[in-house]
Amino acid sequence: MRKVFGIIGTTIAIAVMSFGIFIGTIIVVQRGQEEAYVKAMEEFRNAINSEKPDVDRINELAEETNSDGYFLYVEIAAKTYLHDVFVPFMTVQKMRKEDGLFKDGLTKDLIEKDQPEFEESLETIAEMREQTKLVQAAADKLFDRDFALRYIESEELDERYVDMYIEQVQEIYEDQKMKDDLAVFATYMNMQCNAYEEVINFLKNNNGSWHLENDTVVFKTTSLTNQYNQLLAKIDRD
């Protein structure tokens, strides 16, 4: 009987040891997953907070996933939320700095290249409008705790992982000044789009009634000149 108990005791001891190894392995794996998650989020946030953010790189990082397990849910949710808040604004700013129309205005070269239909310029304005809508949508919706939590909705996640997500985004959705700034910026850009569109449509609709003289658009009548100048004055060349 002692022998039997000895065998049972040995078996239990082996089982307990194996269970301990199993638990230890889980802890090590989770620690590795968490470290990968932390590293991925640090890289993503640093890209957003850069003095000269690279929008293309931020978009790439938003698509990449480096963590695993439940941490993957948190990484995807946090990156998606932060992307939706910041990238539309950054994209509009990039267009303002790089696109010919919004960067330099209605230059002689642009007018000569794009007349008489101004298709390229009108497409640029349409694209700017779409990006500006996303900026406005961010201001309207994303600075709200309940809405932000929709990004992490999952019955599989326990509170620990939801809290990790909140740690990543809480400072953003509570930032009412950022919300207001984005709304003001969206309004401003919509006004700019309207102003450029009015000027371009005026040139398009009055094709044949004007010509370029050096860098100046010269109309055949004083009335058209006055109307054109009034439209130009609506464009803010900051």
DSSP the chain: -HHHHHHHHHHHHHHHHHHHHHHHHHHHHHHHHHHHHHHHHHHHHHHHHSSS--HHHHHHHHH-----THHHHHHHHHHHHHHHHHHHHHHHHHHHHHSHHHHH-S-HHHHHHHTTT-HHHHHHHHHHHHHHHHHHHIIIIISSHHHHHGGG--TT--HHHHHHHHHHHHHHHT-HHHHHHHHHHHHHHHHHHHHHHHHHHHHHHTTTSEEEETTEEEESSHHHHHHHHHHHTTS---
Contacts for 44 with CB less than 8 Å, ≥ 6 apart: 58, 61, 62, 78, 79, 82
Name the residue range of residue 21's domain.
Answer: 2-187
For residue 211, tell me if it sits in a domain: no
- As a whole-number percent, the residues of the chain with pLDDT over 90 amount to 76
Q: Residue 233: what residue type?
A: A
CA 100/CA 2 separation, integer angstroms: 91
Q: Output the pLDDT for position 31.
A: 74
Degrees to nearest 5, angle at CA 224 with 126 and 122: 10
What is the number of domains present in the chain?
Answer: 1
- Residue 45 resides in a domain: yes
Per-residue confidence (pLDDT) for residue 236, from 0 to 100: 87
pLDDT in tens, the chain (238 residues): 555 445 545 554 444 444 344 334 434 346 777 899 999 999 999 999 999 999 999 999 999 998 888 899 999 999 999 999 999 999 999 999 998 899 999 999 999 999 999 999 999 999 999 999 999 999 999 999 999 999 998 767 788 999 999 999 999 999 999 999 999 999 999 999 999 999 999 999 999 999 999 889 999 999 999 999 999 999 987 6
SS3 sequence of 132-155: HHHHHHHHHHHCCHHHHHHHHCCC
In a domain, 220, yes or no: no
Query: Following DSSP, what letter does each residue of 141-191 receive, concatenated?
Result: IISSHHHHHGGG--TT--HHHHHHHHHHHHHHHT-HHHHHHHHHHHHHHHH
In this structure, is residue 218 part of a structural domain? no
Residue 13 inside a domain? The answer is: yes
In a domain, 229, yes or no: no
Residue 55 exposure: Cα atoms within 13 Å on the Cβ side: 14
Domain assignment present for 214: no
Task: Note the Cα 86 to chain centre separation in Å.
Answer: 4
pLDDT of the residue at 10? 52
pLDDT, tens digit, for every residue of 53-77? 999 999 999 999 988 888 999 999 9
- By CB atoms closer than 10 A (0-12, 13-18, 19+), residue 235 is middle
